[in-house]
Chain A
């Protein structure tokens, strides 16, 4: 087993990973920037290492600084958390080359799936449907126009190597094809080193449905239920739950079969998520792989009783999964609300100092993943997510009620938070009825 794990991340995910490490007897190293030198996320780590200035390019995104920290502390493995370097093939490779265990999918898989066209093609070969569009990059405006006359407008040009919503360009009519293709290509070249674009059409008012899986090196794949994450704003998820109120058992069986087929075909090893969309007429489309531990993983942990981080660590050292799919039981309902340091009316960021924080009472059915303490700083340099509150109960209405109660008890002074936005969503009749799609926030709350 791993003896000492370095966690290459910051914030709430650090104590989350440390909790499992303690249960497993694995020592931990937390790294931090200058801006985080007094941050509460460091408190539970056995060792801490300063890796650079506040600027994440020179600290949490610095491969050299992190590998140096691992050498200096004698860590034998690296967990990248989510965001930052977690899906960077070059980082996975550098960690492996340094003789350390990489807690994530193989570097070669990360490199391959950084191409969206590769992943889309592979999904189709595995028998899944992908969001309508091309499987190869388009090379000329004529191809765009030809696609448009067959499938209609608007269509979207997306970067093959893109991410973070960057370089998604709308083409509303044939006359725009040349100009938009050129613009998207130059954004791609600058931001991601590749001008390649492919075409996708719009799935109107989709629901976001994703499948959490674990895959080991022996080729075993198990799915840990789907999660519905339709409540989002500008592609930032706000509420996640499992199981989805809209996915029926036959759909689920197909989603699981597709997931296992895609994951095997990829040669994927580790924990991951396949993200997809469900259209209003009930079709499921594969969208992309999230090749990491996800923010919303606790929902699936409550639902199945599986500690995903523990199995990440076990898979990383070559252990086989102890179950097959039929051993995985999904019981009850789990739901998570993310709390952001943002103005609840404008979503304007709200960095600062938290003078006082009061957490809800946690227990078997309520979990708060956070790294907050009275007097802690919320720096302006990183993601605005402050905490996640996750509730579990025997059915959806009870789980929602439990989450509402917890959010009402959660108090933060000194910075603005989106707790009131969470409550407006959770108490909305449409949400309670399980009727939602990704336009919910704009449509029902009037927030954009």
Chain B
């Protein structure tokens, strides 16, 4: 099933550090948010394979906006 990794703070997307097809583990950093000039690490709760990257540098983010989609094995 597909799960999203969401913005945990509002701000601007600084970068997404994974690519479509990457296998990632639970707790791994997938993106960084720039909130008031502080870099906030966004980590995945789940292990899985990156199916979509939805954010790019400078995107405006609100808390809860999906940044990366993962295909998670049941």
Beta-carbon contact of A54 and B36 below 8 Å: no
Q: Interface majority SS on B: helix, strand, loop or mixed? A: strand
**Residues B60 and A53 in contact, CB atoms below 8 Å apart:** yes
Nearest CB in chain B: distance from A105 CB, A: 25
A341 touches B36 (CB 8 A): yes
B48 at the interface (CB under 8 A from A): no
| Contact between chains at A384 and B60 (CB < 8 Å) | no
Q: Which residues of A contact B10 (CB under 8 A)?
A: 351, 380
- Which B residues, 2 to 59, have Cβ-Cβ distances below 8 Å to chain A? 9-12, 35-38, 40, 58
Is A380 in contact with B36, judged by CB distance below 8 angstroms?
yes
Q: Which residue of A lies closest to B60 (CB)?
A: A54
CA distance A439 to B37 in the complex (A): 22
Contact of A351 among B36, B58, B60 (CB under 8 A): B36
Q: How far is the CA of A380 from the CA of B13 in the complex (A)?
A: 11
Give the total of A residues in contact with B, Cβ under 8 Å. 16
A133 at interface (Cβ–Cβ under 8 A)?
no
Q: How far is the CB of A205 from chain B (nearest CB, A)?
A: 26
Most buried by A among B9, B12, B36, B38: B36
Instruction: Report if A384-B58 is in contact (Cβ < 8 Å); known contacts: A55-B12, A349-B9, A351-B10.
Output: no
Docked-complex contact B37 and A383, CB < 8 angstroms:
yes
For B38, the chain A residues whose CB sits under 8 A away are 347-349, 384
Bound-state CA distance A380–B36 (Å) is: 5
A347 nearest CB across to chain B (Å): 8
Give every chain A residue within 8 A of B37 (Cβ-Cβ).
349, 382-384
Q: Give the chain B neighbours of A384 by CB distance below 8 A.
A: 36-38
In contact, A380 and B11 (Cβ under 8 angstroms): yes
Taking the complex as formed, is A323 at the interface, i.e. its CB lies under 8 A from any CB of chain B? no
Q: Does A57 contact B (CB under 8 A)?
A: yes
A:177-223 near B, CB below 8 Å: none
- Contacting residues, chain A, for B35 (C-beta < 8 A): 349, 351, 380
CB distance from A250 to the nearest CB of B (A): 39
Q: Which of A57, A341, A342, A380 has the most CB of B within 10 A?
A: A380
> Which of chain B's residues have a CB closer than 8 A to the CB of A53?
60
Nearest CB of B to A341, in Å: 7
Nearest A-chain residue to B11, judged by Cβ: A380
Q: Which residues of B contact A348 (CB under 8 A)?
A: 38
**What CA separation (Å) do A323 and B41 show in the bound complex?**
52
| CB neighbors of B among A330-349 (8 A) | 341-342, 347-349
- From 48 to 63 in chain A, residues with beta carbon under 8 angstroms from any chain B beta carbon are 53-55, 57-58
What separation, in Å, do the CA atoms of A384 and B35 have in the docked complex?
9
Given A55-B12, A380-B9; A349-B36 close (CB under 8 Å) = yes
Residues of the B chain whose Cβ atoms lie less than 8 Å from the Cβ of A382: 36-37
Pair A381/B9 contact, Cβ less than 8 Å: no
Give every chain B residue within 8 A of A347 (Cβ-Cβ): 38
Are the C-beta atoms of A55 and B58 separated by less than 8 Å? yes
Of A54, A341, A351, A381, the most chain B CB neighbours within 10 A belong to: A381
Provide the bound-state CA to CA distance between A349 and B33, in Å: 12
The residues of B that contact A58 with a CB separation of less than 8 Å are 58
- Given the interface pairs A351-B10, A381-B12, the reply to whether A55 lies near B36 with Cβ below 8 Å is no
B14 to chain A, nearest CB (A): 12
Give CA–CA (A382, B58) in the complex, Å. Answer: 12
B36 touches A57 (CB 8 A): no
- Are B11 and A57 in contact, with the CB atoms below 8 A? no
CA distance A57 to B14 in the complex (A): 12
User: Complex formed: what's the CA distance from A54 to B12 in Å?
Assistant: 9
Complex Cα gap A349–B36 (Å): 6
Residue of chain A at shortest CB distance from B61: A380
Having A349-B11, A380-B35, A384-B37, one finds 18 other A-B pairs with CB under 8 Å, namely A53-B60, A55-B58, A55-B60, A58-B58, A349-B35, A349-B36, A349-B38, A349-B40, A351-B9, A351-B11, A351-B35, A351-B36, A380-B9, A380-B10, A380-B12, A381-B36, A382-B36, A383-B36
Which residues on A are within 8 Å of B, measured CB to CB? 53-55, 57-58, 341-342, 347-349, 351, 380-384
Q: Could you list which residues of chain B lie within 8 angstroms of chain A, going by C-beta atoms?
A: 9-12, 35-38, 40, 58, 60
Can you report 10 residue pairs joining A to B where beta carbons are below 8 Å apart? A54-B12, A55-B12, A341-B36, A348-B38, A349-B36, A349-B37, A351-B10, A351-B36, A380-B12, A380-B35
The 5 A-B pairs of least Cβ separation, nearest first, read A349-B36, A380-B10, A384-B36, A380-B11, A349-B35
